[in-house]
Amino acid sequence: MVKLNTFSITARCAKTGQLGIAVSTKLPGVGMLCPFVKAGVGAVATQSFVNPYIGIRGLEYLSSGMSAQEAKEKIMAEEINLEHRQFAIVDNDGGTAAFSGNECDGYYNHFEGDGFVVAGNMLVNEETLTDMKAAFENHTGLDLSERLLRALEAGQAAGGDKRGKQSAALKVFDTEEYPFVDLRVDEHEDPVSELARVYDVAKAELLPFMPMMPTKDNPGGSFNPDEY
């Protein structure tokens, strides 16, 4: 099993309905195995001795109409090695649920807020999570992507993963099947800061084009090739 001793925030924006996850760990490629998000359905972060099928099945259960709490209970009832797992769920109504098994390493915990969950294991301290929670709550005027980043930055500044730093990821879905933001820093000496830098570049050079993309309601998109 891959051991993603991780700190993450999973959230829904009450204003836009966007869903997203920001996460960091001391292993490469955390964005590959931890964050699972689906527009109009929910978001699931799976970590510690990570089982990606918790994310996959969790979204299936939310898609079927289960609440975050109901999905959590079903995952717990069927999961092998449950006490080694940690996961957080936010549903499309902003309902939250989370689990931290007793066999997670080091300091581990999770805290639920209004439409979001912070969770982590093998952390330097509790402040990693409490500072993430406070940062998310204190930046309600920002877009979801930036609120998630501010929370991740606060967690890293407070201590983060006690083994060090290596990768980080930000994934946000809006209304479409494809992501609105999907950025990864797979191997870096300061991945959270690098993720914030990459986001700033994407905000200037990529995100302005997202409203022009084809959508379910407008399959051709609003891109005008004559303007470029």
pLDDT tens digits for range 214-226? 999 999 888 666 6
> Which amino acid, residue 111?
F
Q: Give the pLDDT confidence score for residue 227 in this predicted structure.
A: 60
The neighbour count for residue 192, using CB atoms within 10 Å, is: 25
Q: Write the CATH number for 143.
A: 3.60.20.10
Task: Band the pLDDT of 164: cuts 50, 70, 90.
Answer: confident
Distances (CA, A) of 203 to 36, 124, 150, 209: 22, 31, 15, 10
**Per-residue buried b or exposed e for 71-108, using 16+ beta carbons within 10 Å of the residue's own CB:** bbebbeeebeebebbbbbbbbbebbbbbbbbeebeebb
Q: Give the pLDDT confidence score for residue 132 in this predicted structure.
A: 97
Q: Give the pLDDT confidence score for residue 226 in this predicted structure.
A: 62
pLDDT tens digits for range 17-45? 999 999 999 999 999 999 999 999 999 99
In the predicted model, is pLDDT for residue 1 greater than 90? no
Of 124, 147, 101, the residue nearest 9 (C-alpha)? 147
Q: Give the pLDDT confidence score for residue 6 in this predicted structure.
A: 86
Q: Give the pLDDT confidence score for residue 160 in this predicted structure.
A: 78
Range of the domain at 223: 3-227
In the predicted model, is pLDDT for residue 176 greater than 70? yes
Task: Band the pLDDT of 184: cuts 50, 70, 90.
Answer: very high
Q: Give the pLDDT confidence score for residue 208 in this predicted structure.
A: 92
Q: Give the pLDDT confidence score for residue 224 in this predicted structure.
A: 67
> Max CA-CA distance within the chain?
59
Strands 19-25 and 35-38: unpaired
Query: Three-class SS of residue 14?
Result: coil
Of 2, 4, 10, the residue nearest 129 (C-alpha)? 10
Q: How many structural domains compose the chain?
A: 1
The neighbour count for residue 226, using CB atoms within 10 Å, is: 4
For every residue of 193-205, DSSP letters joined together read HHHHHHHHHHHHH
